[in-house]
Amino acid sequence: MLPDNVFIGEYTDKDKRTGVSVLYFEGGAGAGIYKYGSATSTRQIDSLEASHTVSRIDALTLAGGSAFGLDACCGVMQWLKEHGKGADVRGIKIPIVPGAVIFDLRFSAGITPDCTMGYLACNALSKDVHEGSCGAGTGATVGKINGMESAMKAGAGSAYLMLTSGTLVWVYVVVNAFGDVVDKDRRIIAGARKEKTSQEFLDTSKFIRGAIKDSNVKPVSENTTLCVVVTDAYFDKSSLITIAKMASAGIARALSPAGASFDGDVVFAVSTGNKNEFIDVIGDVSAQLVEDAIKSAVITGDGFGILPSYGDIWAGKKI
């Protein structure tokens, strides 16, 4: 369930295993950001800082392709320009489109999201939310401590909650984590496997703590979990930054380890309406929904016959 003025569009290249997701906010929306990881790759996020004079955005672009994928933002801007959308600067409409990317270059097949893909994602804008290996989640993977060959497939996921007050909170994530994905009991449900042909989990956290003999940890700077929290309550930019920070707790609950020095995790928080709501309620609910959305992203992921998915690992098993 999306807020009334929120639309999502995707471009998915299953053959090349990469893609773009665009969130469009009709009429603009307030937004803030919290950078949870230390290896982020982004575009125009300065407009989301509390001190910046820009008070609204038109869309968010999430893409594969690492830094190359930031080119998808230009296609989103072009589409918005053609449709007369953007901030009015003395009669000139300038679309405000922050973006962030994941590193999927070792799973994708050579091409990276570009301006055309961003434009085509906008052409597909609708109220339909897709999960798994689609859009920016097409090439997403998890559990890469021993390289891609023993990793697992992930993707995009979502979750929402309608509060008793009538306020809606919706979360969209793209999960491309270095670590493992765990459930509420801290049981690994997707992540690094002991070897290429194994279905037994390595347990990344134990491995890097040296609990397994001959542990040889090499930083893997190819990881990012992107999160977008959207509510139809009203918050100013400073409050949205706080909500984004609170929402990042969901990353810590769902990933093990989380927020590593080579993770590029980013949390966006967006306000689309004018309802009054208590900031800490939205922040706490957002963290729960981020956790749920991350789990959904791996449950629905498709490995394209290259890497095992959640369904491949857990098929026929009691979970």
pLDDT digits (tens, 9 = 90+) for 275-316: 999 999 999 999 999 999 999 999 999 999 999 999 999 875
Residues 6+ apart with CB under 8 A from 211: 203
For residue 127, what is the enclosing H or E element? none
Task: Identify whether the C-beta of residue 105 lies closer than 8 Å to the C-beta of residue 112.
Answer: yes
In the prediction, which pLDDT does 55 show? 85
Residues 6+ apart with CB under 8 A from 126: 7, 8, 9
Task: Identify whether the C-beta of residue 132 lies closer than 8 Å to the C-beta of residue 302.
Answer: yes
Between vectors from CA 159 to CA 157 and to CA 162, what angle results, nearest 5°?
Answer: 165
Q: Quote the strand ranges of the chain, DSSP E.
A: 6-13, 18-35, 42-43, 57-63, 87-89, 92-94, 99-101, 141-142, 152-153, 156-162, 168-176, 180-182, 188-190, 224-233, 255-256, 266-275
For residue 130, what is the enclosing H or E element? none
In the chain, the domains with their CATH numbers are: 6-314 (3.60.70.12)
In the prediction, which pLDDT does 193 show? 95
Between vectors from CA 212 to CA 211 and to CA 215, what angle results, nearest 5°?
Answer: 105
Tens digit of each residue's pLDDT (9 = 90 or more) over 67-93: 999 999 999 999 999 999 998 888 889
Report mean pLDDT in 10-residue bins for the chain, 319 residues: 94 96 97 85 89 91 96 97 90 93 91 97 97 97 92 97 97 95 94 91 87 56 87 96 97 89 87 95 98 97 95 75
CA distances from 164 to 102, 122, 168, 220, 259 (A): 35, 33, 9, 43, 32
Structure tokens at 192: 């690094």
Residues 6+ apart with CB under 8 A from 257: 178, 179, 204, 205, 208
Handedness of CA 107, 113, 119, 120 (dihedral sign): negative
Distance, CA of 123 to CA of 117 (rounded, Å): 10
